[in-house]
Structure 1
Amino acid sequence: MTEFPHAPTPAFLFDLDGTLIDSVYQHVIAWRQALSGMGIDLSVWRIHRRIGMSGGLFVSALLRETGLKLTREQIERLQVAHMEAYEQQAGSVRPLPGAPELLAELTSRGVPWAIATSGYARTARLALDLLGLPEDTPMVTRDLVRRAKPDPDLFLAGAALVEVDPAHAMVVGDSVWDLLAARRAGALGIGLLSGGYGRDELERTGAFRVYADPADMLERLDELGVRLDD
């Protein structure tokens, strides 16, 4: 009988905020507080639609909508103010349903995975304890790449970190920016509804599967090539 090569083991690259931890609205409030501190008043919904982009690109996009201009130094101050405001709220952040269990299940089955987030290490690493993860968890943060989402750099770096071809990886994210970056990295995109984007938006941006949250994804891992009965 002819033997055919096995398909490569799937690998997963996870966004963090809104994907593994329930922190999107803490980030929204932190950005609003930081912007207000500089005399910029923006509606919460405008801020939410940009969550998931890199901080610098996020600010540029919002300022373009308002017609305001800031110097590079002011933008850097704004990003620091956001991080400080977020840290004040970090105690209210919780893992999303099923997130620790999903990561534990993948680990127990030898499925490679990494976290790739537009957040800086200063705030992103606060999530490790929440998720019950060790300090050496494979994680790529904004500090480590030239450009963040919707550029593909974070996911390309995450794939390299776990030594997989991006074409054999699946990006799990809650925003259109995650899925745009996934497409540009050559990876499949999986959307989660836990960050506030709708199913139609995620599917239009390239999600080939959409789940409610990590718990829903864990229940349906067989759809993604992870056989729970192997």
Structure 2
Amino acid sequence: MAWSLPAHSADVDVAVVFAVDFSSSIDPDIARLQREGHAAALTSPEIIAAITRNYLGCIGIAYFEWSSAGRSRIVLPWTRICSLKDAEAAASVIDDKGDTGSSRGGRGRTSVSSAIDMGSLLLDQFPGQAVRKVIDISSNGENNDGLPVQSSRLRAVAKGYTINAIAIPTKGETPDLASYFADAVIGGPQAFVVALKDSGDYAAALRRKLVTEISMAIDPTASAGAP
């Protein structure tokens, strides 16, 4: 999971872990939205502009998929994005190796708590310095497996990490997933939830979400005591 770069070369404005649901409730259509949505967002002009106008002009990303407690798969280990070329290379890995939603049987339940714990572990292992560290949860369900999600949230927030979420609508059901994420999942500085009216809005919503997260990074040389 570690880069070959020396630590000082790995410093970024923000380090983001994409924690993407691939439990049995994720069908091929939703899997494609998540996979292609992340790939498209990373290479969009808005994201590249947000990255390059920041203090260091680079972000770090990792992408993993999760389902039941203890079940996860790293698709993209920590990767530094400083240019469109970097973003295209990372997007290609996500698009090629990300979940397709096929063979859904036996994938397990939905452990959002384990997703937070795994995201937190990856942020612990980030090979450099980051002004902000963010776990991005993408899911269409509530925590129904593993530890209580609130405990995992508290541990991550105590480390200074931010947990954001994007709530994917579920066919045939209308649970207020965004409210659940707001109450039980997100946490840390400037945490927020993106609620989708329709799953087709995923790519655009994810792009706006990532622009916001990148733009929240600040100049680390700025005075912390300034009004």
Q: Structure 2-normalised TM-score?
A: 0.45
Structure number with the higher helix fraction is: 1
Structure number with the higher strand fraction is: 2
**Higher Cα Rg, which structure:** 1
